[in-house]
């Protein structure tokens, strides 16, 4: 390192400047070259930083963990951070998600704002960039150690560290064996999933979108899915190994990726005592990648959805036909007595279905999408009535009897990180378990139309009705 005078050392101490070591300078120079040459590493932010370290000559063996935690803590102090360090931190500028980057310098140390080399992730075809982040919640620090190793492009894959969740070896025969032991519904789901993986079919979106498509192709729409367990990500209750069956749609905490929420189709147990299972899933984050088989730790499974096969005997089918004939006769006699459907809700649902059929895209939030439906149906702000209002985290929450089709409902989305969400209530699928069909939009400024989805409406904190 360059010699520094006593005056410069005092100034550095006063201003909070931290000089990079030789290894840190090598990392920063490699990152700068990749940004200058517009080098693209398609994948996640983890893949980009890993490539920078490998090219700088610091593979997995040449790295040292300085601080280790998770998103909930403990967090590292500023004194531990040096230029060239690989940081894992909470990105407060983007929904509080986990992010990683290479620390460059402090922009404002008192406010913990720093310049970081990072990549946006989500498999975008974009180079790295310099960006300012607020580093108040740094939960992991990795630092280059030892002497740099000469980087060879041909061996870059071998030198990169293995991801925590890897493919089980020789699993094809065992997958077929698990398929044979599964229920009729589980067999159809595993067979359909295997076909989608072998054909390398890409369904961009989230892991929920991928599994929904898989279940529908196997012949199990929303009406033929039964929730076995309904818990919450952070509170539980969590499933035991005896509750999980082959072909089940399971939602769990992904301990190998920042403890984020993830879901997949359960295939088989790899180690039942340690709750290690093989899962068919999709990486999510709108990646252009097919599904894959991965090993996951299933110690915190908080939701299980199971496909249902209709097993009606001939006698039951005859009884149902007779019941239908009776109800049709009763309907004919009671047509004058039954009140007509609300014209307001009917017009809202009609506009919503037209927008779905036309695949109309309205970029913005879910509230903006529902607002557009209400306006097109002829119900602006002045023609809406707030029927119920509560607090998202404290309550009170609405009762099932308060809802009518066409209502604009705000609720806690238990299937996506407990985030607030809103949509138009269509109908109850299972009223006792508060499962309902909702017309909604994914939000987050996506270039996507609306969709019909099943949601758990156990925490409705606002209801708006057209009048």
CATH number, domain with residue 396:
3.90.1720
**Domain presence at residue 325:** no
Contact 35, 131 (CB under 8 A): no
Domain shared by 353 and 275, yes or no: no
Confidence (pTM): 0.40
Beta bridge partners of 445: none
Q: Which residue has the tokens 């398929």?
A: 179
Q: What is the pLDDT of residue 313?
A: 39
**Burial profile 21-58: b = 16 or more Cβ within 10 angstroms, e = fewer:** bebbebbbebbeebbeeeeebbbbbbebbbbbbbbbbb
* 391-394: Cβ within 8 A, 24+ apart: 391/461, 392/420, 392/459, 392/461
Domain shared by 143 and 242, yes or no: no
Domain shared by 228 and 296, yes or no: yes
Q: What is the mean pLDDT of each run of 10 residues along the chain (467 residues)?
A: 44 47 89 91 86 90 89 88 92 83 92 91 82 92 82 45 44 73 89 87 85 90 87 89 92 85 91 91 82 91 87 51 66 44 82 88 87 92 91 86 92 84 92 89 81 89 92
**Domain presence at residue 364:** yes
Domain shared by 115 and 241, yes or no: no
Q: What is the pLDDT of residue 170?
A: 52
Q: What is the pLDDT of residue 277?
A: 92
Domain shared by 178 and 256, yes or no: yes
**Domain presence at residue 322:** no
Backbone angles phi, psi at 456, to 5 degrees: -90, 110
Domain boundary among 108, 127, 159: 159
Q: Kindly give the residue spans of alpha helices, DSSP state H, lying in 305-365.
A: 314-333, 343-357
Indicate the number of domains in the chain. Answer: 3
**Domain presence at residue 337:** no
Contact 101, 49 (CB under 8 A): yes
Domain shared by 48 and 123, yes or no: yes
Nearest to 86 by CA among 97, 70, 99, 96: 99
Whole-number Å distance between alpha carbons of 159 and 61: 9
Domain shared by 180 and 231, yes or no: yes
- Taken in order 326, 330, 332, 338, the sign of the CA dihedral is negative
Q: What is the pLDDT of residue 328?
A: 66
Domain boundary among 103, 129, 159: 159
**Domain presence at residue 312:** no
Q: What is the pLDDT of residue 17?
A: 46
Domain boundary among 159, 183, 198: 159
Range of the domain at 54: 16-159
Nearest to 279 by CA among 189, 209, 153, 217: 189
> Beta strands 408-413 and 460-466: pairing type?
antiparallel
Domain shared by 154 and 200, yes or no: no
Whole-number Å distance between alpha carbons of 4 and 21: 14
What the block records as the tokens of 352 is 């919503």
The DSSP line for 168-206 is PTT-HHHHHHHHHHS-HHHHHHHHHHHHHHHTT-B--S-
Domain shared by 140 and 180, yes or no: no
Contact 267, 190 (CB under 8 A): yes
**Domain presence at residue 357:** yes
Nearest to 197 by CA among 171, 222, 219: 171
**Domain presence at residue 167:** no
Domain shared by 290 and 367, yes or no: no
| CATH number for the domain that contains residue 203 | 3.90.1720.60
**Domain presence at residue 404:** yes
Domain shared by 220 and 89, yes or no: no
Domain shared by 138 and 185, yes or no: no
């Amino acid at each position: 390192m360059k010699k520094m005078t006593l005056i410069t050392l005092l100034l550095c101490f006063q201003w909070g400047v931290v000089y990079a070591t030789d290894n840190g300078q090598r990392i920063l120079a490699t990152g700068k070259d990749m940004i200058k040459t517009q080098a693209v590493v398609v994948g996640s932010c983890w893949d980009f930083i890993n490539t920078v370290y490998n090219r700088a000559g610091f593979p997995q063996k040449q790295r040292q963990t300085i601080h280790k935690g998770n998103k909930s803590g403990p967090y590292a102090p500023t004194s531990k951070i040096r230029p060239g360090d690989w940081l894992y931190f909470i990105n407060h500028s983007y929904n509080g998600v986990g992010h990683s980057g290479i620390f460059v310098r402090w922009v404002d140390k008192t406010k913990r704002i720093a310049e970081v080399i990072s990549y946006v992730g989500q498999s975008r075809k974009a180079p790295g960039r310099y960006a300012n982040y607020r580093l108040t919640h740094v939960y992991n620090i990795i630092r280059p150690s030892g002497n740099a190793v000469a980087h060879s492009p041909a061996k870059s894959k071998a030198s990169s560290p293995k991801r925590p969740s890897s493919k089980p070896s020789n699993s094809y025969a065992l997958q077929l064996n698990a398929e044979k032991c599964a229920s009729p519904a589980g067999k159809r789901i595993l067979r359909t999933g295997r076909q989608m993986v072998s054909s390398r079919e890409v369904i961009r979106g989230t892991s929920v979108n991928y599994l929904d498509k898989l279940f529908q192709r196997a012949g199990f729409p929303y009406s033929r899915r039964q929730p076995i367990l309904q818990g919450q990500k952070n509170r539980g209750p969590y499933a035991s190994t005896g509750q999980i069956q082959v072909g089940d749609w399971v939602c769990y905490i992904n301990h190998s990726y920042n403890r984020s929420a993830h879901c997949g189709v359960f295939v088989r147990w790899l180690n039942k005592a340690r709750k290690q299972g093989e899962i068919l899933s999709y990486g999510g984050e709108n990646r252009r990648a097919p599904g894959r088989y991965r090993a996951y730790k299933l110690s915190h499974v908080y939701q299980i959805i199971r496909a249902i096969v209709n097993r009606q005997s001939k006698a039951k089918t005859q009884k149902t036909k007779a019941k239908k004939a009776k109800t049709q006769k009763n309907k004919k006699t009671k047509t004058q007595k039954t009140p007509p459907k609300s014209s307001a809700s009917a017009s809202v649902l009609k506009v919503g279905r037209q927008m779905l059929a036309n695949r109309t895209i309205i970029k913005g939030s879910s509230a903006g999408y529902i607002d557009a439906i209400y306006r097109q149906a002829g119900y602006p702000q002045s023609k809406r009535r707030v029927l119920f209002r509560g607090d998202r985290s404290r309550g009170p929450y609405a009762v099932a009897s308060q809802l009518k089709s066409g209502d604009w409902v705000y609720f806690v989305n238990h299937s996506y990180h407990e985030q607030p969400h809103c949509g138009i209530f269509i109908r109850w699928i299972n009223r006792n378990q508060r499962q309902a069909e909702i017309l909604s939009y994914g939000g987050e400024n996506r270039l996507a139309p609306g969709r019909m989805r099943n949601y758990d409406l156990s925490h409705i904190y606002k209801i708006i009705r057209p009048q």
